[in-house]
Structure formats: C-alpha cells, structure tokens
C-alpha cells in the first residue's frame, strides 16, 4: 500500500485521535439508523401511519444513505475535510431535530432522507482519515473497527428504548440530536491539523480518476464484490430490517431476533479478528478464501437444519456464520491497495455503497422470487448464490500477493 510520504505521518495517539472521533460520528449515525425500529410503534400510533408508511420511513434512510455515498466520497476527496465533515455532522444533528418535530408522514420521510444524505459522509471520512494518518499495516484494522460500528450501533440502539423506557420518542430524538451537535464540535476540534498534513503527503499531480476508471482496477472491483457479499448477506439474511425473511426457516419472531443478535455478535468478532490478522496484503487472500468458503457451508447448514435442531445449536451456527461474514471488512483494504490518498474516500464510499444497496436488494429478492412471499427455496436461491459470488471473488485474489 502506498504511503504517500509516510515519513510525515503523525504517530501514536495524535495519529488515531481524528480517526477515533470520526468513528464516534459513524457510531452515532448507526444508532439513529437503527433506533427507528424500536420506536416505530409509538410513532405509528401517534401520527396514524399505515404499515406501509412506517416501513417506507425505515427503508428510505438506507436508500438515501446508499445513494449519497459516492457524492460524499467525491466531495471528501476534493474539498477540505477539516470544514466539510464537521458541517455534515452538524447538518446530521439538525436533521434529527427536524425528525423529532415531525407532525405527519411527509415530515418523517423528509427527516430520514435528510439524515441519510448528511450522515453518508461519516464512513467514507473515516476511511480517508485512516488512509491519511495511520500506517499502512493499520488500515485494515481501522476499517474493521469502523465497520464494527454497524453491529455495535445496532445493539446500542436496541438498548436505548429499554434504558429510557419512560422517555417519549420525540424527547429521545432530541437527546440524540443534542449529542450529535456536541459530536460535530468535537469532530471540528479533532481535525484541526489534518488539512495541513494532507497537503504534505498528497502530491498535487496525483489523478483521482473517475468511478469507471476505478472499477477497472482489479483491486477496487474485487473489493466491491467482497463487500457486496459480506454486507449484502448481513443486511439481507441477517434481517436488519426485515426479520420475516428468516421466519421462512421455521423460527418465530422472538427466536429470529435472538438469532440475529448472535449473527451480529459473531460479525463484530469476525471483523475485529480480520482487522488484526489482515494487516499485510499477503494475508488477505487466505483469510477471505476461508471466510467465504465457510460462510457458504454455514449458511447452507443453517437453511438445512433450522427445523431439525434446537435454538442453541442454531445460535451457535449463526454466530460462526457472522464471524465468517466479518472477514468482509478487509474489502476496504483490498480496494484501496496502492491507490493514492486522494482516491481513498471515493473508493471507500463506492465499496460501502455497493454493500448498502445490495443489502437493500437482498431483503426483497426472496420475496420477489416467491411472488410476494419469501419461501425456504427463494431464500436459499438468493443467499446461496451471493455466497458463491463471495467465494469466486476471494479465489480471484492473485497468488502473487499483488493486487
């Protein structure tokens, strides 16, 4: 991985500090993303929403967030991250306040769209800052930790309504918005010296390249495929938003919730281990070959034995599946390999957008294939096909340890 003048890079806490604050922004963004699922019922009752309207409010966030990834990465690679990221963090917080003041369905929808648009800057920014300030052998770990925020944030979002059970949903959102405003100030403070260092080790003659040109690079294309595999199966098969997809496997809704929690826990562990052991390019291929192959086996096993084994056994298998899917966090290290820092945010955004949008697609694909109802057959065809795609991409990583 190119270091673009690594001799000028800061070290120790000074190097990790701006990245760490940006990851807090990512974690806060994920909390807002998932907390709606736990307060949807009181919102629906208060504003007399239909079931389809409530579902649309949930899904529109992911759609706006995914579609905004590339514009966000493009802007972060071309404008000063020192002022752009704090500004987007502040606008994100204001969007939460707007959502808290919603009086009807249109307000709720607009609030979620605005939030998804502004919060889309958080994850690409974490990748760009990691690429700018951290040693090359720590980039995979940094992106794994940032990626873990989606699992950790989901768990935290689930705990907030229970912790603040007596707090009305509008008040809870206002507290979340206030936290976001404070975080935007912290982001601004932490990025104080980043712009100056960026010009030190980013040569002006480095071309950024178009998205099409980037996709022609083998590293970027394979990284995208691997994240489509990991994130798509996590969002779809894991049932972040549509738990009914797993009910076709013979589980009740509470059991599905428990199983999903086990999957997310395994995902977090898998991401962490992949980041720790994936610091060098020569480690990526064996890790991803093992992860994708075992994920296919465990997914097939889950679909085949769900009606035959106890919940404890099924939970054990799902935790293992989550750990294998967690290896997808190496997708970002694969994609940015040997690219200049000026392309980091765009490439990270491209890979992340592929994962988010494939996740949205894979939530609905089994339903479409089943003519309106997800069955065991349509779930199996959909997800096992994507699992095979992951194996293919992992085995396409070259043996010569150069991507």
Q: What is the pLDDT of residues 62-98, one digit of tens each?
A: 889 989 999 999 999 988 899 999 999 999 999 999 9
Confidence of residue 8 (pLDDT cuts 50, 70, 90): low
> Which residues does 32 contact at the CB level (< 8 Å), separation at least 6?
92, 96, 115, 119, 157, 176, 180
Q: Rounded CA gap, 303 and 284, in Å?
A: 28
Q: Rounded CA gap, 128 and 78, in Å?
A: 12
Closest by Cα among 319, 313, 260, 264 to 295: 319
pLDDT of residue 182: 96
- The answer to whether residues 32 and 124 belong to one domain is yes
pLDDT of residue 241: 43
Q: Rounded CA gap, 395 and 94, in Å?
A: 45
- The answer to whether residues 375 and 387 belong to one domain is yes
Domain-located, residue 110: yes
The neighbour count for residue 264, using CB atoms within 10 Å, is: 24
Cα–Cα separations (whole angstroms), residue 237 to 13, 295, 307, 382: 38, 12, 17, 9
CB 233 within 8 A of CB 383: yes
CB 31 within 8 A of CB 230: no
- The answer to whether residues 156 and 282 belong to one domain is no
pLDDT of residue 6: 40
CATH number assigned to the domain comprising residue 228: 1.20.1250.20
Domain-located, residue 344: yes
Confidence of residue 4 (pLDDT cuts 50, 70, 90): very low
- The answer to whether residues 177 and 232 belong to one domain is no
Q: Rounded CA gap, 314 and 305, in Å?
A: 8
Q: For residues 390 and 249, which has the higher predicted lDDT (pLDDT)?
A: 390
Q: Domain range for residue 231? A: 202-397
> Which residues does 286 contact at the CB level (< 8 Å), separation at least 6?
none
- The answer to whether residues 153 and 84 belong to one domain is yes
pLDDT of residue 158: 62
Domain-located, residue 1: no
Last-in-domain residue among 167, 201, 235: 201
**Which pLDDT tens digit goes with each residue over 226-248?**
999 999 898 777 664 445 555 55
Total domains present in the chain: 2
Last-in-domain residue among 184, 201, 218: 201
Confidence of residue 262 (pLDDT cuts 50, 70, 90): confident
- The answer to whether residues 244 and 334 belong to one domain is yes
CB 370 within 8 A of CB 245: no
pLDDT of residue 215: 83
- The answer to whether residues 86 and 163 belong to one domain is yes
Q: Rounded CA gap, 308 and 250, in Å?
A: 10
Percent of the chain with pLDDT over 70: 82
Domain-located, residue 157: yes
Residues written for the chain: 403
- Angle subtended by helix axes 122-133 and 81-100, to nearest 10: 160
Q: At 238, give phi and psi (nearest 5°).
A: -70, -20
Q: Rounded CA gap, 180 and 151, in Å?
A: 19
Does residue 278 register a pLDDT over 50?
yes
**Which pLDDT tens digit goes with each residue over 93-144?**
999 999 999 999 999 999 999 999 999 999 999 999 998 888 888 999 999 9
The neighbour count for residue 170, using CB atoms within 10 Å, is: 16
Q: Which of 4-13, 50-59, 385-394 has the highest mean pLDDT?
A: 385-394
Does residue 200 register a pLDDT over 50?
no
Q: Rounded CA gap, 346 and 389, in Å?
A: 24
CB 233 within 8 A of CB 325: yes
pLDDT of residue 391: 97
- The answer to whether residues 248 and 311 belong to one domain is yes
> Left, alpha or beta for 275 (phi > 0: left; psi -120 to 50: alpha)?
alpha
Q: Is the dihedral of CA 341, 330, 155, 228 positive or negative?
A: positive
CB 300 within 8 A of CB 320: no
Domain-located, residue 31: yes
- The answer to whether residues 190 and 209 belong to one domain is no
- The answer to whether residues 283 and 352 belong to one domain is yes
Label residue 13 exposed, middle or buried (CB < 10 Å: 0-12, 13-18, 19+). Answer: exposed
Region 255-259: mean pLDDT is: 72
Q: For residues 126 and 258, which has the higher predicted lDDT (pLDDT)?
A: 126
pLDDT of residue 387: 94
Domain-located, residue 374: yes
- The answer to whether residues 271 and 390 belong to one domain is yes
Domain-located, residue 100: yes
Q: What is the largest CA-CA distance in the chain?
A: 61
Confidence of residue 310 (pLDDT cuts 50, 70, 90): confident
For residue 239, what is the DSSP state?
Answer: T
Angle, CA 282 vertex, CA 278 and CA 287 arms, to 5°: 50
| Choice among 56-70, 340-354, 362-376 with the minimum mean pLDDT | 362-376
pLDDT of residue 369: 82
> Which residues does 77 contact at the CB level (< 8 Å), separation at least 6?
128, 208, 342, 343, 344, 345, 346
Domain-located, residue 3: no
What does the mean pLDDT of the chain come to?
83
Region 214-232: mean pLDDT is: 92
Last-in-domain residue among 138, 171, 201: 201
Cα–Cα separations (whole angstroms), residue 302 to 82, 241, 350: 46, 20, 31
- The answer to whether residues 171 and 256 belong to one domain is no
Does residue 370 register a pLDDT over 80?
no
In the numeric block, the tokens 């769900």 are attached to 306
Cα–Cα separations (whole angstroms), residue 225 to 45, 178, 354: 41, 37, 8
Confidence of residue 283 (pLDDT cuts 50, 70, 90): very high
């Amino acid at each position: 991985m190119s270091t673009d003048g690594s001799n000028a890079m800061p070290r120790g806490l000074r190097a990790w500090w701006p990245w760490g604050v940006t990851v807090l922004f990512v974690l806060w963004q994920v909390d807002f993303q998932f907390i709606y699922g736990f307060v949807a019922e009181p919102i629906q009752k208060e504003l007399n929403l239909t079931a389809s309207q409530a579902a649309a409010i949930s899904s529109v966030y992911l759609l706006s967030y995914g579609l905004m990834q590339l514009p966000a990465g493009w802007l972060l690679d071309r404008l000063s991250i020192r002022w752009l990221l704090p500004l987007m963090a502040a606008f994100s917080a204001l969007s939460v306040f707007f959502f808290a003041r919603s009086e009807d369905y249109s307000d709720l929808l607009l609030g979620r769209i605005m939030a998804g648009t502004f919060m889309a800057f958080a994850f690409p920014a974490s990748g760009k800052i990691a690429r700018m300030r951290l040693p090359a052998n720590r980039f995979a770990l940094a992106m794994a930790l940032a990626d873990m925020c989606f699992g950790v944030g989901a768990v935290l979002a689930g705990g907030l309504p229970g912790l603040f059970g007596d707090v009305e949903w509008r008040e809870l959102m206002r507290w979340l918005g206030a936290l976001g405003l404070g975080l935007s100030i912290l982001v601004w403070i932490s990025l104080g010296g980043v712009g100056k260092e960026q010009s030190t080790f980013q040569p002006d003659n480095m071309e950024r390249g178009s998205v099409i040109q980037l996709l022609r690079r083998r590293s970027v294309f394979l990284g995208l495929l691997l994240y489509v595999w990991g994130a798509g199966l996590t969002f779809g098969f894991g049932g972040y938003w549509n738990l009914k997809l797993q009910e076709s496997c013979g589980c009740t809704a509470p059991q599905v919730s428990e199983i999903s929690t086990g999957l997310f826990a395994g995902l977090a562990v898998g991401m962490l281990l992949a980041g720790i052991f994936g610091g060098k390019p020569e480690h990526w291929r064996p890790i991803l070959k093992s992860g994708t192959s075992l994920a296919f086996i465990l997914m097939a096993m889950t679909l085949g034995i769900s009606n035959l084994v106890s919940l404890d056994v099924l939970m054990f298998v799902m935790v293992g599946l989550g750990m294998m899917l967690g290896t997808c966090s190496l997708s970002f290290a694969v994609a940015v390999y040997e690219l200049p820092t000026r392309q980091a945010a765009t490439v990270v955004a491209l890979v992340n957008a592929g994962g988010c949008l494939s996740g949205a697609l894979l939530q609905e694909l089994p339903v479409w294939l089943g003519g309106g109802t997800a069955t065991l057959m349509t779930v199996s065809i959909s997800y096992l096909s994507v699992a095979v795609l992951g194996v293919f991409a992992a085995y396409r990583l070259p043996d010569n340890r150069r991507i």
